Amino acid sequence: MVTADTSPAAPAPKAPQTNKLGLTLADYKGSPSTLCDGCGHDAITSQLIKAFWELNIEPHQVAKLSGIGCSSKTPAYFLSRSHGFNSVHGRMPSVATGAFLANHKMIYVGVSGDGDTASIGLGQFCHMIRRNIPIVYVCEDNGVYGLTKGQFSATADQGSKLKDGTANHLNAIDLCGLAIELGCSFVGRSFAGDPRQLVALLKAAISHRGTAILDVISPCVTFNNHEGSSKSYKKVKETDTPLHELGYVPFFEQITVDYQEGEVRTVELHDGSHLQLKKLGQDYDPTDRSAAERAISQAHKDGHLLTGLLYINEESQNFGQVLDMVDTPLSRLKSDELRPPKEALDEIMAGLM
């Protein structure tokens, strides 16, 4: 009897997949999340990790910033090799502005929530947009204050109910509508439960060189996921009305045409990447500001939640361009470049004599 070893050779342990920098997805992760199981925020964190990994961005070129709240805890849960800054409540935009002025070569990603953005931080949110500070600003929007027992936030829809049945009588602040009104150069809305759309929007926002506002509906499983809430997983799935199907093509890849003419609109982003918007029903033009405002207002009337790229203006100048900043980041200037020569002081002194 011939005894041949017919058992298949043990497969070699599969090396984890790496990106073009030779980094694995794990290299873009952070500490384990301490949020509630099923929290929409964790789903957004996963897509942030994926977006940066797939775009082959060096983690040290990214800085993560946040304010205070459940959402603001999340920068600890992604990109552990990037500097992080958990600032004070509602004032991350000012910190990001200062950091940008010190080093405009970094990619800034800010994570905030509806309390942090639409209540205490509303002023700084507006001024960041007004200045067009280059940052990917994600508002993880659940309509409630999740760290303090789930009171309504300023983005809660009128008529939406708390767990105990209390209804919200006040108007909601629509962060996307507000951002467009303020002249924001990139405005999108998405849903934590739609990873495909979210990752495409995140990548496009990273490729954009201005303030990119992403309002991501992120249901609070503890305080706002019940019948009667307008921001529960169930309700958002019912009312989610995507404007288009999104495809992101990074600058290092060729655009392949597999759509029929007229079916797809392509938007070129600042870094040479492209966002493909496949038509779904209506023909939506995200470069038309007043059309975007009309669409948002109509959706409110219809009880729909419009998601996708609502508005983009790739022509706008960011704050660094407006200030005509030197190419070298201020943080890298050496002492001899920072200190003007003695003649400069002498001249000022002479002017005061």
Q: What are the distances in angstroms from CA 301 to CA 143, 155, 294, 295, 296?
A: 19, 16, 11, 10, 9
Of the residues 33, 56, 103, 241, which one makes contact with another protein according to CB under 8 A: 103
- In the block, tokens 């954009």 appear at 208
Per CB under 8 A, does 60 bind another protein? yes
Per CB under 8 A, does 2 bind another protein? no
Q: Which of 32, 262 has the CB closer to another protein?
A: 32
Beta partners for residue 188, in sequence order: 214, 309
Residue 59, SS3?
Answer: helix
Nearest Cα residue to 318 out of 165, 96, 150 = 96
Of the residues 44, 48, 57, 95, which one makes contact with another protein according to CB under 8 A: 95
Nearest Cα residue to 130 out of 15, 66, 237, 213 = 213
Per CB under 8 A, does 59 bind another protein? yes
CB of 64 to another protein, least distance (A): 9
Among the residue ranges 82-90, 196-204, 283-291, 294-302, the one whose residues contact another protein (CB under 8 A): 82-90
CB of 273 to another protein, least distance (A): 22
Site for another protein in 13-32 (CB under 8 A): 31
Distance CA(140)–CA(133), nearest Å, equals: 19
Of the residues 35, 96, 176, 296, which one makes contact with another protein according to CB under 8 A: 96
Structure tokens of 130?
Answer: 């007004």
Among the residue ranges 185-193, 260-268, 272-280, 333-341, the one whose residues contact another protein (CB under 8 A): 333-341
Instruction: Show the DSSP H helices in the chain as ranges.
Output: 40-54, 70-73, 92-102, 114-118, 122-131, 175-181, 195-207, 233-239, 289-302, 319-323, 335-338, 342-352
CA dihedral sign, ordered 214, 219, 223, 225: positive
Per CB under 8 A, does 119 bind another protein? no
Q: Which of 71, 230 has the CB closer to another protein?
A: 71
Per CB under 8 A, does 335 bind another protein? yes
Cβ atoms < 10 Å from Cβ of 130: 13
Cβ–Cβ < 8 Å for 216, 44: yes
CB of 341 to another protein, least distance (A): 9
Structure tokens of 163?
Answer: 């767990």
Q: Which of 100, 137 has the CB closer to another protein?
A: 100
Of the residues 149, 234, 237, 339, which one makes contact with another protein according to CB under 8 A: 339
Among the residue ranges 60-68, 111-119, 178-186, 272-280, the one whose residues contact another protein (CB under 8 A): 60-68
Give the angle subtended at the CA of 65 by the CAs of 59 and 66, to the nearest 5°.
140
Per CB under 8 A, does 83 bind another protein? yes
**322 CB contacts (<8 Å, ≥6 apart)?**
131, 132
Q: Which of 85, 119 has the CB closer to another protein?
A: 85
CB of 82 to another protein, least distance (A): 5
Per CB under 8 A, does 183 bind another protein? no
Per CB under 8 A, does 122 bind another protein? no
Per CB under 8 A, does 61 bind another protein? yes
Distance CA(225)–CA(217), nearest Å, equals: 12
Of the residues 29, 33, 56, 85, which one makes contact with another protein according to CB under 8 A: 85
Of the residues 40, 69, 93, 177, which one makes contact with another protein according to CB under 8 A: 93
User: Which stretches of the chain bind another protein, using CB under 8 A?
Assistant: 31, 58-61, 63, 75-76, 80-88, 91, 93-103, 105-106, 123-124, 127, 323, 329-332, 335, 338-339, 342, 345-346, 349
